[in-house]
C-alpha cells in the first residue's frame, strides 16, 4: 500500500507538470496567432516587443520551474511525518524519548571508536589508526593482517599488532559503563559489537547480552589440534617481550594458537545471524557508537529496525545512513527535494539523531539529561566488578 504522503507528493508534482504543459501549449498558440497576424500586414515588419503580453518560451519555462519548485516545497512540508517519535532530533529528544516512552529493548551497536579512550587505537583514523601504521610489515593491503590465508603463512605481523590491540591493563571507558547502566536499568536488549577487546564484559555487562560479531580474544584455539586456551594464557604470552607467535603446548602438536577473532575470510558466528533475526524486530531504540559503518554485514544492521524506531549516532563524524543528516541542534530536519520526488526520507527524516564528538562525552551528556550522571560516575569510579569471568 502506498504511503499517503508519497501519494500527495507525486500528485502535486504531476499537477504542476500538467499546468506547465498547458501553459507551454497556450504560449505556443499565442505565438502562432501573432505570426498569422504579422503575415497578414503586407510589407509591415513587427519586431518582438519586450513589453508584449504574450509570454515567450523562456518565460513559460521559467514559470514551469517555479511552479514545480513550489509544489515540491509544499509537498516536503506535508511529507514530514507529524507523528515523529522524537520531539526534537537532538540528544535532548533522545533523553525525552527514554523518559516518556520507556523503551525496554534498546540495541547498542559499537565499533573501535568506543575503546580509543582506553588506549586501544582504532583502525581507520588517518595518521593514528592501526591501518595507517603498518608500513613496517610491508603489506600490499593493510587488511591482509586479518586475512586467514596470510596469517597461516606469516603470523608474525598479526601478533606484533596483537601486543598493541590487547594490552594487559586496559580498562573500560565511560561508554562501556553507560551500556552497563542500560542493562542495570533493564533497558538493554543486546549489545552488538565489532570490537575484539572484550571490554564489554570487563565492564560488567552480562555475557549473554553481548554479541561479539567479530569474535574476541577471550579464548584462543590451536589451528592444528583445536585445543582451547583461555584469556589468561594468551595474555601472559602477549605480555612477554621475548615471545611473539604462540604455539600449542599439547604434546606432539606445533600448531599456531590463534585468538578466536573473526578474520576476513572466515564466516561470522552463526549466533550473530540468529540474534539479528531474534532481536531487531523487537528493538525500540537503536544507539550506534564509535564505528565507521563500513564493514559488512555489521554496517547494514542499522536498517534492520522498524522505520519508526529512533536511531542515535554518537561519533566524531557522520557515517553510513547518518551522512547528510543535520547535526544534533534540535528541531526537525527539512526533507530534501530529491527525497520528496522519489518518496525517500519521509520515514526517516525525524527519527535519526547525529551527535558529533567523542563517545564518552556523548554518553555523559545523555546520562546527565536522564538524571543518571551521579550513578554513572559512581559506577565508573568503582571500576570493573571483581566477579567478572571472561
341 is in an annotated binding site: no
- The C-alpha atoms of residue 105 and residue 286 are separated, in whole angstroms, by 9
Q: Are 215 and 264 in contact (CB under 8 A)?
A: no
Going along 35-179, which residue ranges are E strands? 106-110
Strands 352-356 and 311-315: parallel
359 is in an annotated binding site: no
Q: Please state, in angstroms and rounded to a whole number, the distance separating the CA atoms of residues 274 and 355.
A: 30
Residue with C-alpha cell 575470510? 265
Is 225 annotated as ligand-binding? yes
253 is in an annotated binding site: yes
CA angle 284, 288, 291 (to 5 degrees): 160
Integer Cα distance of 289 and 113 in angstroms = 7
214 part of the active site: yes
DSSP 114-142: GTGGGT---SSSTTTSGGGG-GGG--SSG
Rounded CA-CA distance 390/217 in Å is 10
User: Is residue 102 within 8 Å of 374, Cβ to Cβ?
Assistant: no
| The C-alpha cell that represents 171 in the structure block | 580498562
176, 214, 237, 355: the catalytic one is 214
Estimate to the nearest angstrom the gap between the alpha carbon of 273 and the chain centroid: 18
Q: Report the distance separating Cα 138 and Cα 228, nearest Å.
A: 31
**Closest to 193 (Cα-Cα) out of 254, 105, 262:** 262
Active site residues: 214
Binding-site residue set for Zn(2+): 222, 225, 248, 253
Amino acid at each position: 500500500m502506498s504511503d499517503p504522503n508519497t501519494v500527495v507528493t507525486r500528485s502535486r508534482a504531476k499537477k504542476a507538470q500538467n499546468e506547465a504543459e498547458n501553459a507551454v501549449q497556450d504560449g505556443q498558440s499565442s505565438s502562432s496567432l501573432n505570426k498569422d497576424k504579422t503575415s497578414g500586414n503586407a510589407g509591415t515588419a513587427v519586431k518582438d516587443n519586450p513589453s508584449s503580453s504574450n509570454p515567450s518560451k523562456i518565460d513559460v519555462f521559467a514559470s514551469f520551474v517555479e511552479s514545480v519548485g513550489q509544489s515540491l516545497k509544499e509537498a516536503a512540508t506535508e511529507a514530514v511525518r507529524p507523528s515523529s517519535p522524537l520531539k526534537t532530533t537532538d540528544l535532548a529528544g533522545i533523553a525525552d524519548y527514554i523518559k516518556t516512552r520507556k523503551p525496554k529493548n534498546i540495541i547498542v551497536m559499537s565499533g573501535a571508536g568506543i575503546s580509543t579512550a582506553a588506549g586501544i587505537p582504532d583502525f581507520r583514523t588517518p595518521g593514528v589508526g592501526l591501518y595507517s601504521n603498518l608500513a613496517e610489515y610491508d603489506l600490499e593491503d593493510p587488511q591482509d593482517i586479518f586475512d586467514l590465508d596470510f596469517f597461516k603463512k606469516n603470523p608474525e605481523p598479526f601478533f606484533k599488532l596483537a601486543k598493541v590491540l590487547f594490552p594487559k591493563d586496559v580498562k573500560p571507558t565511560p561508554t562501556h559503563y553507560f551500556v552497563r547502566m542500560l542493562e542495570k536499568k533493564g533497558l538493554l536488549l543486546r549489545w552488538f559489537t565489532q570490537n575484539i577487546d572484550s571490554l564489554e564484559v570487563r565492564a560488567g555487562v552480562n555475557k549473554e547480552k553481548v554479541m561479539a560479531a567479530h569474535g574476541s580474544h577471550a579464548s584462543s584455539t590451536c589451528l592444528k589440534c583445536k585445543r582451547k586456551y583461555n584469556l589468561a594464557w594468551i595474555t601472559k604470552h602477549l605480555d612477554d617481550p621475548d615471545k611473539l607467535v604462540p604455539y600449542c603446548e599439547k604434546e606432539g602438536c606445533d600448531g599456531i594458537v590463534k585468538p578466536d577473532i573473526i578474520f576476513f575470510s572466515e564466516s561470522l558466528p552463526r549466533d550473530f545471524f540468529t540474534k539479528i533475526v531474534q532481536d531487531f524486530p523487537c528493538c525500540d531504540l537503536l544507539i550506534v557508537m564509535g564505528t565507521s559503518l563500513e564493514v559488512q554485514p555489521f554496517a547494514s544492521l542499522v536498517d534492520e529496525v522498524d522505520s519508526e524506531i529512533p536511531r542515535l549516532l554518537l561519533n566524531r563524524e557522520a557515517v553510513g545512513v547518518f551522512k547528510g543528516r543535520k547535526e544534533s541542534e534540535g528541531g526537525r530536519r527539512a526533507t530534501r527535494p530529491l527525497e520528496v520526488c522519489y518518496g525517500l526520507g519521509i520515514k526517516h527524516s525525524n527519527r535519526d539523531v547525529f551527535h558529533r564528538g567523542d563517545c564518552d562525552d556523548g554518553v555523559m551528556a545523555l546520562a546527565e539529561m536522564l538524571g543518571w550522571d551521579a550513578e554513572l560516575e559512581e559506577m565508573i569510579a568503582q571500576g570493573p566488578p571483581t566477579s567478572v569471568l571472561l
